[in-house]
Amino acid sequence: MRKIQPRLLLISCILLRSISGIFSSRSVILSSIEIFNTHELLSPKPIIYFQCHGEKKIILPDVKEKHIVYKFKGVESWQPLAELPDKKCKRCGLYESDSVKSDDIFDEWELCPDEFLDGNCIHYKEKEFNSTFTCTECITIIGAAKPSPKADSSNKKLNLAMAILLGVLTILLVAVGTFGMYKYWQRRRREQHQARFLKLFEEGDDIEDELEF
């Protein structure tokens, strides 16, 4: 009983973790951004916002200057930027409010959960901006959807082990078969010898019988 309890604890921990992984949303946060361009000529301070199709605008209050790398921890009041559904992309973009015409587009792109390698994803657009996004929950999706390189190598190791095992088994079978054949052949030979000897003996007996008469 004492031995089972820690194992049970471990199993329930793993179960809880995977269950929380299923139910937790895949929050995308903005880790860093650098803009190379602003589109509004009249206003000195641009209003830059992020928006996914059909969702609310998320204004980035600090991003005002060009060629400055703004870094974020992910706990800012306006974070996270978006929640990603399981194995599906969202069309999102970075925009700048325009007081006269329609808002200017830095870029629009597909934000996909499987693009967060190591939980991070860089989106760069020439002459517009460079940004990094983080989605720690997206890693688990990658792990579930595609075999990670680590799992792949362990799979290869498993295959190699299987091949070796099969090879050894084959050799063993061949050896056992050969040994069996050799034993059978030996027995046959012995039997043949015995038969010949017995025949000789019997013939000898016959001769002896004849001699007694």
Ligand X SMILES: *[C@@H]1O[C@H](CO)[C@@H](O)[C@H](O)[C@H]1NC(C)=O
Q: Which lies closer to ligand X via its Cβ, residue 122 or residue 169?
A: 122
* Phi–psi pair at 186, nearest 5 degrees: -60, -45
- Interface positions, 106-145, toward ligand X (CB under 6 A): 122, 124, 130, 132
Binding mask 30-69 for ligand X (x = CB under 6 A): --x-------------------------------------
CA atoms within 13 A on the CB side of 149: 2
User: What's the closest the beta carbon of residue 125 comes to ligand X, in angstroms?
Assistant: 10
Q: Which lies closer to ligand X via its Cβ, residue 120 or residue 140?
A: 120
The alpha helices in the chain, defined as continuous H runs, are 4-23, 136-145, 149-212
Angstrom distance (rounded) from CA 101 to CA 19: 47
Question: What does each C-alpha distance from 74 to 8, 111, 132, 134 come to in angstroms?
Answer: 35, 17, 12, 8
Angstrom distance (rounded) from CA 213 to CA 210: 5
- Interface positions, 143-182, toward ligand X (CB under 6 A): none
Q: Which lies closer to ligand X via its Cβ, residue 38 or residue 130?
A: 130
* Residue nearest ligand X, Cβ-based: 130
User: What's the closest the beta carbon of residue 147 comes to ligand X, in angstroms?
Assistant: 27
- Chain contacts with ligand X (rule: CB under 6 A): 32, 122, 124, 130, 132
